[in-house]
Homo-oligomer: A and B are copies of this chain.
């Protein structure tokens, strides 16, 4: 036996960056070879083919992103956590370097209706984050004495929708202030009627 010599997560992060920069179709194997430092044969041995590299990179992306989300909500109340995560997304969008683009959003826009398995995997990842967001909204809603409208599920969906919209919108407007104002508005909309936010305009 023999173990692979490279660090899988590290290689996949480099591949991630390549895909984020150029998208899936435009990123050639040559690009991936250059980005990862591995030779074609090694890449094929480890990931089957180009599509396999994307799937693995997407998997790694989810892990990294889940950790980022966890870091945002650590030690904060539910709404504070969401606010922190939202601000981190704004920061990503505002600095217009290509690494700020969300691999999942980019890939699903590029590959929707083309590759069922990839699309399903991307949908799952988006849903995982939505579930985590949903949990926070459930907790926030429970803090209220009476049932609130809309329910936590719709709030979570709206929050996710807003984030994806923010990302696309960010491609056209480099101004951080505009994105921040939109994020503020999103947060306001999504926390409407929740305890701790009554006094806000």
A residues near B, CB below 8 A?
Answer: 21-23, 25-26, 96-98, 101, 105-106, 108-114, 119, 122-123, 126-127, 149-150, 154, 157-158, 160-169, 171-173, 178, 181-182, 185-186, 189, 192, 201
Contact = CB atoms under 8 A, between A and B. Distances in A.
Given A25-B25, A182-B161, A171 B112 contact: yes
A98 B122 contact: no
Contacts of A114: 21-23, 26
Contacts of A111: 23
Q: Main SS of chain A's interface residues? A: helix
A147 B46 CA distance: 62
Contacts of A201: 149
A4 B149 CA distance: 59
A161 B169 contact: yes
Nearest to A174: B123
This protein's copies in its complex: 2
Nearest to A101: B112
Contacts of A106: 109-110
A127 B166 CA distance: 15
B109 A172 contact: no
A113 B98 contact: yes
Contact of A161 (B21, B110, B154, B165): B165
Contacts of A192: 189
A127 B169 CA distance: 10
27 contacts: A21-B114, A23-B23, A23-B110, A26-B114, A96-B113, A98-B112, A98-B113, A101-B113, A106-B109, A109-B171, A112-B171, A119-B172, A123-B171, A150-B185, A154-B182, A154-B185, A158-B185, A161-B162, A161-B165, A162-B162, A162-B165, A163-B165, A164-B165, A165-B165, A165-B168, A167-B168, A185-B189
